[in-house]
Amino acid sequence: MKNILFAAILSACFIFQSAKAQQTKIYNKGKYQLTFISYDATLDSVEQQRLVKTFYTVYPELAKAYNKKTLKAVTFVIDTTYKGVAETDNGKVTISSRWIHSHPEDIDVVTHEVMHIVQNYGESNGPGWLIEGIADYARYKFGVNNAAAKWALPDYKPTQNYDNAYRVTARFLLWIEKKVSPGLVKEFDGRLRKHTFTDDAWRQLTGKTVDELWKTYSENPTI
């Protein structure tokens, strides 16, 4: 009986401490609501405001450019146990508190992640490498602090391939936009959301397959 009572007290204390550690603030601006949940009591209030400001700067712009029907209510969670950098699922962006502490200038992690909310491809038939490439392309185009974070698209290397995802794919998409087919990313984004994207979309919009485009890109990757 004593053991059961002791366990119950410990459980109650844990719940109390967890509730105490969780800090929630709700922001409303324009059409968008942001619920900011932090489990990190050491998160600097200035850093929190920078993350919030980044959301309200880039999210409306991304919505206008790609998907005006995107979610109007978004949640940020600063997680002390998450081992990655950040992830997004069903309108909730989880960001590692350790990453924020060690990379305080990388506030455009927000830009990449909320682009995933705007994408909203659901059970898309599109390749994952392209989806991540589009998100990093959006970060490149709409990011507010990339230079200070020392984040940039990488120079071309012969060891790369278009399906490396993230920044490598983003640079390839930027090259296509500039050299071959302006508006390609927006068109791909729309098709992915409507589930009408196919591998033949590259040829339909540029006259070349993705492999042919990469070959041309590799021969002259200047952007």
What confidence tens digit (pLDDT) does each residue in 25-84 have?
A: 999 999 999 999 999 999 999 999 999 999 999 999 999 999 999 999 999 999 999 999
Residue after which a domain boundary falls, among 50, 85, 120: 120
**Residue 53 shares a structural domain with residue 140:** no
* Residue appearing with tokens 């146990």: 81
Verify that 182 and 210 share a domain, yes or no. Answer: yes
Q: What is the pLDDT of residue 90?
A: 94
Residues 114, 145 share a domain: no
- Kindly state whether residues 127 and 218 are assigned to the same domain: yes
The pLDDT, as a whole number, for residue 11 is 44
Q: What is the pLDDT of residue 124?
A: 73
Give the pLDDT of residue 134: 98
Average pLDDT on 186-209 reads 97
Residues 89 and 129 in one domain: no
Rounding to the nearest 10 degrees, give the CA dihedral for residues 68, 71, 72, 78: -130
Closest CA to 48 of 37, 60, 59: 37
Is 76 found in the same domain as 130?
A: no
pLDDT in tens, 195-205: 999 999 999 99
Residues 25 and 114 reside in one and the same domain: yes
- Specify whether 141 is located in the same domain as 111: no
Same domain? 48 vs 84: yes
Q: What is the mean pLDDT of residues 201-210?
A: 98
What's the pLDDT at 7? 43
Q: What is the C-alpha to C-alpha distance for residues 116 and 194, in angstroms, rounded to an integer?
A: 15
Spatial distance between the Cα atoms of 182 and 139, rounded to a whole number of angstroms: 18
Q: Do 154 and 180 belong to one domain?
A: yes
Query: Would residue 14 count as lying in a domain?
Result: no
Residues 137 and 215 in one domain: yes
The dihedral of CA 70, 73, 76, 82: what is its sign?
negative
- Residue 10 in any domain: the answer is no
Residue 1 lies in a domain: no
Percent of the chain clearing pLDDT 90 (strictly above): 88
Hey, what amino acid is at 185?
Answer: V
Statement: residue 125 has pLDDT above 70: yes
Question: Quick one: 207 and 185 in the same domain?
Answer: yes
pLDDT tens readout for residues 126-158: 899 999 999 999 999 999 999 999 999 999 999
| Domain end among 120, 137, 158 | 120
Radius of gyration (C-alpha) of the chain in whole angstroms: 21
What crossing angle do the helices spanning 166-179 and 184-194 adopt, rounded to 10°? 120
User: Does residue 103 contact residue 156 with C-beta atoms inside 8 Å?
Assistant: no
Q: E strands, the chain, where?
A: 23-29, 32-38, 73-79, 86-89, 92-96
Region 11-27: mean pLDDT is 62
Would you say residue 12 has pLDDT above 90? no
Q: Could you tell me if 39 and 21 are in contact, meaning their C-beta atoms sit under 8 angstroms apart?
A: yes
Residue 86's pLDDT is 98
pLDDT at 3: 47
Q: Which domain holds residue 79?
A: 19-120
Listed residues 120, 139, 165: the one ending a domain: 120
**Angstrom distance (rounded) from CA 174 to CA 15:** 49
Quick check: is 100 in a domain? yes
User: Can you give the pTM of this predicted structure?
Assistant: 0.90
Instruction: Compute how many other C-beta atoms are within 10 angstroms of the C-beta atom of residue 209.
Output: 13
Q: Closest Cα partner for 100 from 120, 128, 123, 80?
A: 80
92 falls within a domain: yes
